[in-house]
Amino acid sequence: MTTTSDAVPDARTVAAELSDAGVAGVTISWADNNGIPRSRTVPVSALPRVAETGIGVTTLFAVFDSSDAITYAHEGLSSPSGDVRLVPVLDGLVPLAGQPALAWAPGRILDADGAPWPYDQRAVLERQVEELGKAGLTALVGYEIEFGVYAEGGPDEFVPAHPGPAYSPHALLAVDEFMADVLRDFTANGLEIGQLHAEYGPAQMELSLAPSDPVTAADRQLLARQTLRAAARRNGLRLSFAPLPAQAAAGNGWHIHSSVWRDGRNLLAGNQEGPGAEGAAYIAGLLRDLPAVAAITAPTLGSLARLRPGFFAGAFAFWGVENREAPLRYVPGSKFLGSDHANVELKTSDASANPYLALAAVLAAGAAGVADELSLEPPVQADPGSWSEKERAEQKIALLPRTQAEQEAALTGNPRIPAVLGDDLLGAFLAVRRSDAAAAEDRSPDDVLAGLRWRY
């Protein structure tokens, strides 16, 4: 396939190659403000035209809430009129191993004149990467993806496809054919798996994706979902990517590992005390803005339900070295692993975040820390959840926002992160969050989680 990133692929050539390979259609996908993938599919013959001028889609996708209700509460998008153009990014196009009639491409959304559309989340991340570049920095990002595997069934059926034990090969035997398809299809779709295992609860699995530049990492996070779902369907299984599929289920974190680099040097490189000055400033920047960042990386009612102390989900705001209860877990390199391995993991992140916005928020917060030359307090190696209120107050460790209103206040009150989204997108994003919260008002927590279970 002509999909290398060093040359802009020519749509006609790509279409001809796809056609020769028996591919009939191209699915163009993006993620909305709820982290829900949306798409349009075109026949391969239409690709050259669509690659140039896109497909018409409603502006209202920016104000769909988590249950597909449209909110008109955001002033900029308060009417049913308006159309924008969804354009495939040919650089990211891959024929889908698990769906042989289709190729997949990430989409960007332009306004009707082909100019940037302020609600396009992918452009927000592209901008942020550019900003980093101006400061002489590049970033590497890798996602860890946790999900539940269930038997296919009606909307209310919820039968784990593996019984555990946690991390056991015996658990995986129950989903052996699915796992084999995942391994093969990921490779065929150009997704490099770091490792794959049975996670903590019944039904839960995890895989990690190899690090890449941020925009590619977000594109691949979406492609990974498509690839996983196709493999599950073929094997009579159903996946939940929801942050918390049910109160009693294990939470699904979609942890973000990031490192920043200057002149080919990993600034996160360090030891058990932490990274060097600039890497420490990056973590300090993340910590400073964490309540606002989490409002974007773990933004939904499902996210808030997942963020329970004691579940390795990152509920208290602090950092630690290899501390799995910390929302910011510093992973130092070592003599054995090399300094390139060093990174910081954000655990307060899940599939209900738009991946482009999530990475943009993370990089903006971290880069601001570097620009401001922040210093970092010593790491916390214990679980602050086991401390008294008084001890936590002494160490200045607080819970991250627990409600939609608290998250909104943390985000709008932050001096840096709102500007990353821009006023229009921020307005739409918050309107959607309020719409979700209002719809949940007269529903039980169980009911809300059940409604989100299969959405991502």
Residues that bind ligand GLU (CB under 6 A): 146, 200, 250-251, 253, 306, 311-313, 324, 347
Q: Dihedrals φ, ψ of 425, to 5°?
A: -65, -40
Choose one: 51-59, 175-183, 206-214, 277-285; the region binding Mg ion (CB under 5 A).
206-214
| C-alpha–C-alpha distance, residues 283 and 369, integer Å | 7
Residue 324: CB minimum distance to ligand GLU, A:
5
Q: CB under 8 Å to 242, separation ≥6 — which residues?
A: 252, 302, 351, 352, 449, 452, 453, 454, 455, 456
Residue 375: CB minimum distance to Mg ion, A:
30
Q: Are 342 and 279 in contact (CB under 8 A)?
A: yes
Q: Dihedrals φ, ψ of 308, to 5°?
A: -100, 135
Q: Compute the Cα dihedral for 16, 227, 123, 264 and give only its sign.
A: negative
Q: Considering beta carbons, is residue 181 or 206 the nearer one to Mg ion?
A: 206
Which of Mg ion, ligand GLU, none does 324 bind, CB closer than 5 to 8 A by kind?
A: ligand GLU
Q: How many CB atoms lie within 10 A of CB 388?
A: 8
Q: Compute the Cα dihedral for 408, 115, 77, 423 and give only its sign.
A: positive
Q: Which residue's Cβ has the minimum distance to ligand GLU? A: 253
Q: Kindly state whether residue 325 participates in binding Mg ion, applying the rule CB under 5 A.
A: no
| C-alpha–C-alpha distance, residues 331 and 341, integer Å | 8
Q: Which residue's Cβ has the minimum distance to Mg ion? A: 206
* CA–centroid distance for 56 within its chain: 26
Residue 351: CB minimum distance to ligand GLU, A:
11
Which of Mg ion, ligand GLU, none does 93 bind, CB closer than 5 to 8 A by kind?
A: none
CB-neighbour burial class of residue 35 (10 A; exposed 0-12, middle 13-18, buried 19+): buried
Q: Considering beta carbons, is residue 347 or 416 the nearer one to ligand GLU?
A: 347
Respond yes or no on whether the N-terminal peptide bond of residue 165 is cis (omega within 30° of 0). yes
Q: By CB under 5 A, what part of segment 408-427 binds Mg ion?
A: none
Which of Mg ion, ligand GLU, none does 325 bind, CB closer than 5 to 8 A by kind?
A: none
Q: Considering beta carbons, is residue 137 or 250 the nearer one to ligand GLU?
A: 250
Q: Considering beta carbons, is residue 270 or 314 the nearer one to Mg ion?
A: 314
CB-neighbour burial class of residue 136 (10 A; exposed 0-12, middle 13-18, buried 19+): exposed
Q: Are 365 and 293 in contact (CB under 8 A)?
A: yes
Residue 250: CB minimum distance to ligand GLU, A:
5
Member of 65, 181, 206, 408 binding Mg ion (CB under 5 A):
206
Q: Considering beta carbons, is residue 204 or 339 the nearer one to ligand GLU?
A: 204
Residue 199: CB minimum distance to Mg ion, A:
5
Q: Considering beta carbons, is residue 129 or 246 the nearer one to ligand GLU?
A: 246
Residue 244: CB minimum distance to ligand GLU, A:
8
Residue 201: CB minimum distance to ligand GLU, A:
8
| Chain positions contacting Mg ion, by CB under 5 A | 206
